[in-house]
Amino acid sequence: MTTVDRLLAPRPGAPRSAHTVDLAGTAWPLYKLEALAVGVLVFVVILATTATLQPAVLAAAAATVTAWWVRRAYWARVRD
C-alpha cells in the first residue's frame, strides 16, 4: 500500500486542508465522517425494511467502504 499512500499523502510543506473537522483535538478529514454517515444511514434504512441484522450490516459496511475510498480519491485529486 505504499504506492497508494504516496499518491494520496499530502506533499511536505503543503497547506493543511480546510476540509477537516476537529474531533477531540484531532483533525479528521471530512470524507471519513461522510463515509460513516452514509454507513449509518444505509444500516438504519435496510434494518427498518428487512428487520434482520445480517443484510443491514453487510450493506452498511459495503456502502461505508465505497464512500470512504471514492471521497478520498476525490479530495486527493482536488488537492493536486
Q: What local confidence, expressed as pLDDT, does residue 23 receive?
A: 82
**Which range has the worst mean pLDDT, 16-20, 38-42, 58-62?**
16-20
CB distance 29 to 75 below 8 Å: yes
pLDDT exceeds 60 at position 3: no
Domain assignment present for residue 3? The answer is no
Complete DSSP assignment for 61-79: HHHHHHHHHHHHHHHHHHH
- Residues of the chain with pLDDT > 90, as a percent, come to 46
Residue 6 forms part of a structural domain? no
- pLDDT surpassing 80 at residue 33: yes
Q: Which residues contact 29 (CB under 8 A, 6 or more apart)?
A: 17, 19, 20, 72, 75
Strand partners for 26: 23
DSSP 22: E
Residue 77 covered by a domain:
yes
* Rounded mean pLDDT, 39-58: 96
Is residue 69 included in any domain, yes or no?
yes
Residue range(s) defining the domain that contains residue 48: 29-80
Q: What number of other Cβ atoms are within 10 A of residue 45's Cβ?
A: 14
Q: Whole-model pTM above 0.75?
A: no
Asked if the structure places residue 55 within a domain, the reply is yes
Number of domains in the chain: 1
